[in-house]
Every structure is written in C-alpha cells, then in structure tokens.
Structure 1
Amino acid sequence: MEGAIPNPEVFTHVRVIIGIILGLSVSRLLTGIARIIQHPQSKNIYIVHLGWVLFTFLTVVHFWWFEFYLHQLVLWKFEVYLFVIFFASLHFLACAMLFPDSMEGYNGYEDYFMSRRGWFFGIVILIFIFDFIDTAMKGISHFHSLGPEYPFRNLVLIGLLCAGIYLSNRRVQLALLVAALILQTAFILIQFDTI
C-alpha cells in the first residue's frame, strides 16, 4: 500500500506469531529430553545427538532474543512477514528432526541421528543463510554493528554443518559439535548479552 502509515502494533502481532512457533520448537526439544529421562535405556542415548539438542535450543532462544530488533522495521509488508514466519518455522523443523514422532525402525538416537543428519544439518544451514537476510532487513547499520565476528560465525557454522552432512566418522561428528557449540555460545555472549 503506497503511503501506508507505520503501525507499531504490527510488530506486536508478528512477535506473537514468532512466539507461538518458537514455543512449539522449545516444547519439542523439552518433550524429547523428558522422554529420554523417563526411559533412558529404551532410547540408546547418543552424546552427539544431545549436543545438537543443546545447540538447537541455544539457537532457538537466541533467535527469539535477537528478533526484538525487528521493531526497527518501520513498515511491514506481507513478504517480510512471510519471510520471518518461514525463518521461525525452520527452527521448528530443526527441532522436529532431532526428536521424531516415532523411533520405529531405528536402534536408538545414534542410528536415527546419523541416518537423518543430512536433513538436520541442511535445515540448520538454511537457518544461518536466512539469518544474513534477516539481519540485513534490520538495516545496514545493524548489520555492521555486529562486527566481523557475525559473518565469520555464520560462514564457519555453515562450513561445519556442510562437513557434518558428508563426514560420518563419530569422532569427527563430535569435534564438529564441540566447535559449533563453542562458536555459537561465544557469539551469543559477545553480541547479545543485552538488548
């Protein structure tokens, strides 16, 4: 709409929708962890899988935190709204890939994770690609305010995740996880300790 007047209530509406999707994401992760706690022997716990659960939890919570900067958008258009909803939905898909509805046909979480790691890592790669677009939407000054560590973090994580798709060695998978957790945690603590 040409000449539309900015409405601050639109951001509140968008925040509610994002909150619903991300709430479902966190719920999926917590429910999965609760199932493991309730029946640890029946699930064949896999430390790399649990590490990616932690990484994904941090990523979802971090997304919820930094999306506050969307309030800087003066005028919301449907395509921006649709993009943000899709971006949030990628987080839910990543969480759903970690805890499927059924483990039938798998010998435990290691078997499941290793067989589905391409899907999981692919979705998380999309999250970090979309993150570049999302950050640019908040303005070039916001993008630059994150410093060189922002593109470094995203590009290195994308590289680690790509490696995770193709490398099935268990030690390599653990090393990739540890590197991703360190990188993500350090970036969050450096950049986003306050809004």
Structure 2
Amino acid sequence: MEVFTHIKYVIGITLSFSLAHLLKGTVKFVQHPTRVKPYITHLLWVLYMFLTLVHFWWWEFKLAGITEWHFFTYFFIVLYITNYYVICALLYPDDINDYKDYKDYYFSRRKWLFSFLAIAFMADLVDTIVKGHEYLTHFGWELPVRALILMGLCLTAIKVKAPRFHLLLAILFILYELSYIARFYNIEMK
C-alpha cells in the first residue's frame, strides 16, 4: 500500500497543477476582460479538460486494486498524467502575444492539442488494462470503441480547420464525457 500512497501523491500533485493551470487561465478573462478576447470553442475545450481531469482523479481510485507495482507501470502512470498537464498548458500558454486572440491561438496549436488528446485516449485504454481484466471487462465493448472513435476524431480535428466543426466537436466531447461518467461512475467508491 505504501507504493500506492506514493503514486497517489504524484498523481495528485500533477493533477493539481493541471487544474490550477486551467483555473488561472480562465480567471484571466475576468481579471483582464479587455486584454484578450475569449473564444467559445477554446473555453469549451477548457471545460472538457476540467471535467476530464476530475474524472481522471476519480478513475485512478482503481489503482489501489493493483497489488504488484513495477517501475514501468509507475512510469506509465506518470507519463499519462503528465500528458494531461501538457494539454492544459497548450490550452493556456504563458502569453499569446504572437496571436490576435484565443481563436487564432487555438487554430494555430490545434495539431499539438489534438495530438496530445489522442495520446491521452490511447493511454486511457492501456491504463484500464493495467488495472486488471475484471476492471476492463466492466466497461464491455464501449471502452475500446470509445478510445478508437475519440482518437479518430482527434486526428480529424488536426486536419479540419472549420470553426463550426471544432465547436460541435467540443460540445460532443463534453456531452459524451458527462454521459460516460453518469453511466459508469455514478456509484460510490469504496
């Protein structure tokens, strides 16, 4: 159990940095409303990442069920959560002085953003496998299909620059994530 406690702290710290990054970036719109114009699609992806990070924290409770830890399992988990921090940092850079606004920034960095998001979905599948066969089968067919479809949509988002597509994609991801959480995690964790 000591190993899990250590891993729990590493996950908690990195997730805290990720959430803080999103919150700090969003609060800037309130603190300095005339500096940079927000972009609704960008804000929806911020909301999606906030929801995903909270979901991830809940999801990782199941790491307590892993009885035998190895360095590469630990290393994988650290890389997985670090990937989420990178996504948050991409959503809110330190400054956007080289861009007109967040819309311009979003579309100029969409390839990076959706590449890291696709990696997160692949890591999600591996993470579930690491937690054991019983946990994996709990999700049935949906988990692997979900991972493949969401990765495919991310790869499509890299290529498509149409603002309406990106807006609808953000809404779709948020609605699906809420549905997924409600169906699989609306239970008490023990």
The alignment status of 1:117 with 2:110, answered yes or no, reads yes
Aligned to 2:28: 35
The residue correspondences of 1:1-195 to structure 2 (distance < 5 A) are 8-194=1-187, 195=189
Residue 152 of structure 1 deviates from its aligned partner by: 2.6
Residue 29 of structure 1 deviates from its aligned partner by: 0.1
Residue 190 of structure 1 deviates from its aligned partner by: 0.7
Residue 184 of structure 1 deviates from its aligned partner by: 1.3
Residue 151 of structure 1 deviates from its aligned partner by: 2.1
TM-score (norm 2): 0.96
Contact 1:45 1:110 in 2 (8 A): yes
Residue 63 of structure 1 deviates from its aligned partner by: 0.8
Contact 1:97 1:116 in 2 (8 A): yes
Residue 38 of structure 1 deviates from its aligned partner by: 1.1
Deviations 1:72-95 (A, max 9, x none): 111111111111011010010000
Unaligned runs of 5+ in 2: none
Deviations 1:109-129 (A, max 9, x none): 000010001101110110000
Residue 149 of structure 1 deviates from its aligned partner by: 2.2
Identity of aligned residues (%): 38
Q: Distance in 1 between matches of 2:143 and 2:56?
A: 14
TM-score (norm 1): 0.93
Q: Distance in 2 between matches of 1:107 and 1:139?
A: 47
SS in structure 2 of the partner of residue 80 of structure 1: helix
Residue 148 of structure 1 deviates from its aligned partner by: 2.1
One-letter code aligned to 1:70? L
SS in structure 1 of the partner of residue 79 of structure 2: helix
CA RMSD in angstroms comes to 1.0
Q: Distance in 1 between matches of 2:145 and 2:178?
A: 14
Q: Distance in 1 between matches of 2:12 and 2:186?
A: 20
Contact 1:149 1:187 in 2 (8 A): no
Residue 179 of structure 1 deviates from its aligned partner by: 1.3
Kindly report structure 1 stretches of 4+ aligned residues shifted beyond 6 Å: none
Q: Distance in 2 between matches of 1:153 and 1:38?
A: 38
Deviations 1:155-188 (A, max 9, x none): 2211221111110011111111111111111111
